[in-house]
Amino acid sequence: MQCPICYGEMELVSDETITNVNRCGTCHGLHFELLNQKNLDDVAQHVHLDTGDDSLGDKYNEMVYVECPKYDMIMDQRSIDDPIKIRFELCIACHATFLDAGEFREYMSDEYHDKFRELLPEN
C-alpha cells in the first residue's frame, strides 16, 4: 500500500485483534483501515505502533489534499483548534483515518482523547 501523504511504502503493522493499521516507512504516518467511536478504545491499546518522531509528523501535517488509498477520493480534513489543536484526515466513504507520526500517541493521551473521539464517525 502506498502512503497517501508522501507516497512512500506502507507496511501492515497491526495484528488481527484490531483494524488493519499500516505504517509508512518514510513519513511514519499511520493509516487505520477503520477508525470510529466504537473501536477507538480497542485500537488505543496499540499506541506503540506509533513509532515515528513528532517532528516528522509536523513536516507532513500541512498537506491538505490527501487521497484515500481505497476509494481514490479526497479525504475529509477533521480539525478543531480550541481548546486544543487536533487535525487529521478521515475518509467519509470508508472511515479510514490517517494520522501523522506522533499524532496517535498524542491523541490517545488523557488531554486529547475525548475531543479526538468526538471527531470520529460513530461506526
- 90 makes contact with Zn ion (CB under 5 A): no
Q: Which amino acid is at 107?
A: Y
Burial class of residue 72 (count of CB atoms within 10 Å of its CB; 0-12, 13-18, 19+): exposed
Question: Considering only CA atoms, which of 110, 105, 111 is closest in space to residue 30?
Answer: 105
Task: Output the nine-digit C-alpha cell for 90.
Answer: 478521515
C-beta of 86: minimal distance to Zn ion in Å?
20
Given candidates 18, 21, 27, 99, which one binds Zn ion under the rule CB under 5 A?
27
Given candidates 18, 34, 43, 68, which one binds Zn ion under the rule CB under 5 A?
68
Residues that bind Zn ion (CB under 5 A): 3, 5-6, 8, 24, 26-27, 29, 68, 70-71, 91, 93-94, 96
